[in-house]
């Protein structure tokens, strides 16, 4: 783990972000894998389609690249089913990164349905802290975030130093939009989360995700009514 921003890396990241700003996700990923493998890992939520496109590109470039997802114990059956389909298709074993506290222990310590009363605390326990521990073993992680998803992601660079987790963060899809992602999915006939067929756009944990209606923002189904737009992984 790099932990603290190593001297000189800020400039190197800044240069890489500038040089790769107009590059394709394929070229960005090729650069990242050449630069960081084997200490680079792909985060895939198995919720939205961007992570699946990322996974397909990464597997084509270097099938040895590790893949993980945050298994909060609260994912949809459709999400777990997609993990299995992807595992079979690419002959990989995506790593389930789990919280150190089970749901029963969480309820005993913080009360029932913490996600309704304090979703930030719940995300911290079930997503952010497990991810922090897991990423300590790597120098770079690949994400599927896009600038069109939320206001806070609008300025996301292609490559950045991730202060929160202490490693380099690669965002190859920042310039792509939903339409382009789905075009790739259809062209390559990739498996996606079965909930998309039922009106779900962005998919996370069961208690915090709903289907969206016509004209609603793509992330409107996440933490509905709670004024929360991020789980704390991308700050």
- Provide the annotated active-site residues: 231
Candidate ranges 38-46, 57-65, 163-171, 203-211; the one touching ligand SF4 (CB under 6 A):
203-211
Is 83 in contact with 69 (CB distance < 8 Å)?
Answer: yes
The residues with which 40 forms a beta bridge, in sequence order, are 140
205 counts as binding ligand SF4 under rule CB under 6 A: yes
Tokens of 232: 């704390």
Q: Which is nearer to ligand SF4, 157 or 204 (CB)?
A: 204
For 40, the 3-state DSSP assignment is strand
Q: Which is nearer to ligand SF4, 126 or 146 (CB)?
A: 126
Minimum distance from residue 126 beta carbon to ligand SF4 (Å):
4
Peptide bond between residue 38 and the one before it cis (omega within 30 degrees of 0): yes
Is 69 in contact with 43 (CB distance < 8 Å)?
Answer: yes
Give the H or E element holding residue 55: helix 49-61
172 counts as binding ligand SF4 under rule CB under 6 A: no
Tokens of 150: 């939320």
221 counts as binding ligand SF4 under rule CB under 6 A: no
Candidate ranges 135-143, 156-164, 178-186, 204-212; the one touching ligand SF4 (CB under 6 A):
204-212
Q: Which is nearer to ligand SF4, 126 or 175 (CB)?
A: 126
Report the residue number whose CB is nearest to ligand SF4. 205
Q: Which is nearer to ligand SF4, 57 or 122 (CB)?
A: 122
193 counts as binding ligand SF4 under rule CB under 6 A: no
Rounded CA separation 83/69 (Å):
9
Minimum distance from residue 114 beta carbon to ligand SF4 (Å):
7
For residue 157, give the nearest of 168, 171, 143, 144 by alpha carbon: 171
Strands 67-70, 40-43: parallel, antiparallel or unpaired by DSSP? parallel
Q: Which of 45, 50, 65, 72 binds ligand SF4 (CB under 6 A)?
A: 72
For residue 226, give the nearest of 147, 149, 120, 153 by alpha carbon: 120
**Contact positions vs ligand SF4 (CB under 6 A):** 72, 74, 115, 119, 122-123, 126-127, 204-205, 207-208, 231
């Amino acid at each position: 783990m790099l932990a603290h921003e190593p001297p000189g890396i800020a400039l190197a990241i800044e240069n890489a972000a500038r040089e790769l700003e107009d590059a394709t996700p394929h070229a960005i990923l090729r650069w990242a894998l050449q630069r960081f493998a084997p200490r680079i890992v792909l985060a895939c939520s198995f919720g939205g389609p961007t992570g699946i496109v990322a996974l397909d590109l990464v597997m084509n470039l270097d099938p040895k690249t590790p893949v993980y997802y945050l298994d909060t114990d609260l994912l949809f059956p459709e999400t777990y089913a997609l993990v299995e389909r992807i595992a079979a298709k690419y002959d990989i074993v995506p790593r389930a990164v789990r919280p150190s506290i089970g749901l029963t222990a969480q309820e005993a310590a913080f009360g029932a349905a913490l996600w309704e009363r304090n979703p930030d605390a719940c995300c911290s326990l079930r997503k952010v802290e497990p991810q922090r521990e897991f990423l300590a073993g790597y120098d770079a992680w690949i994400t599927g975030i896009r600038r069109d998803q939320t206001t806070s992601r609008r300025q996301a660079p292609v490559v950045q130093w991730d202060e929160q987790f202490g490693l380099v963060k690669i965002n190859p899809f920042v310039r792509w939009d939903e339409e382009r992602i789905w075009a790739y999915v259809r062209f390559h006939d990739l498996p996606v989360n079965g909930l998309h067929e039922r009106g779900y756009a962005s998919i996370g944990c069961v208690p915090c995700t709903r289907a969206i209606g016509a004209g609603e923002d793509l992330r409107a189904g996440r933490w509905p009514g709670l004024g929360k737009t991020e789980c704390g992984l991308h700050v």
